[in-house]
Amino acid sequence: MRYINQLPESAKHDEITQTHRKLQTWVNQNKKGFLRYRNPYEGLRQFPAKFVNCDSDWVTIGAEEELTNTERQEVESHLQTFIPWRKGPFSVFGVDVDSEWQSQRKWQRLVDFLPDMEGKIVADIGCSNGYYMFRMVPHKPKIVIGFEPSVQHYYCFKALNSMAGIENLHIDLLGVEHLSLFPECFDVLFLMGIIYHRSSPVECLRDIFSSLRPGGTLILESQALPGESEIALFPEKTYAKVPGTYFVPTGNCLKNWLKRAGFKDIDIFCQHPMSSIEQRRTDWMSFESYADFTDPADSGKTIEGYPAPDRVFIRARKK
């Protein structure tokens, strides 16, 4: 928990520490569900990489020639334990992990709209395996803290960074509901692919607003309804086969949520239709993907008959 001493005085240090210890006690139980991911993490941390590159589409951890064939096979076997790989791509000692999402496309859309992150405190809420955190490294943040309650994703990031050895990247088993422990802490906060899973999205955005320092920036990405209306869809059960989806807003509706939460200088800088080029099955994610979530007779509709999603990117600021 090395990040705690780098947080400003406004952070609730004692409560963060208590929450961290409680979660560590939970995740360190010797039960099958935890050992399934802890064991490959322990195996992969034995292979520190000499070469690391976070400044290209494929996050590269270790060059192929750093390991023997036997060692590389061991690394590949451990990496396969984390299937399905949702975010990426990664190249680990010559083992190419082609994830479900071509996450480099999302990064390419937002990188020109990032605020200055050099020396800043950054949070990535719902960071998954940390692909975007690694991509932040060339921007020289002071620290990046990934909030990730999934045990699978938590250990996957820990495994990757145990090999990469990037000291200003951190992860904790926290969710967006823990943001109240971090008042006025973050200069930049990323919330990507999360807001439509929240049953009270405006309340979530208010918590984010409170956790930003004055002048701080939110980078928000979400699925969205196409069109200019100021409306949101509330699906009966699932949206594009995804349970736990509450409100799917238009871009303008999302802007209104941000205004209600207190944000200023709200800018939709990109919106585009989703497609199976960007989210698809691979050898590292062999389950259903985007092509299975849309109507086979009408790609403009989800399998439930709702409008198929766009993805929308918004930058907003706390004055």
In the beta sheet, which residues pair with residue 282? 285
The 10s digit of each residue's pLDDT in 16-72 is 999 999 999 999 999 999 999 999 999 999 999 999 999 999 999 999 999 999 999
Which pLDDT belongs to residue 12? 98
Residue 119 in this model has a pLDDT that exceeds 90: yes
272 falls within a domain: yes
Confidence (pTM): 0.96
177 falls within a domain: yes
Cα separation, 35 vs 315, in Å, equals 39
CATH of the domain at 265: 3.40.50.150
Which domain range does residue 114 map to?
Answer: 12-317
4 falls within a domain: no
The 10s digit of each residue's pLDDT in 210-223 is 999 999 999 999 99
CB within 8 A of 297, min separation 6: which ones? none
The 10s digit of each residue's pLDDT in 256-270 is 999 999 999 999 999
Under 8 Å between Cβ of 228 and 247? no
7 falls within a domain: no
210 falls within a domain: yes
Instruction: State the total domains in the chain.
Output: 1
Which pLDDT belongs to residue 153? 98
Work out the pLDDT band at 130, boundaries 50, 70, 90: very high
2 falls within a domain: no
5 falls within a domain: no
Residue 1 in this model has a pLDDT that exceeds 90: no
For helices 69-80 and 32-44, the axis angle rounded to 10 degrees is 150
1 falls within a domain: no
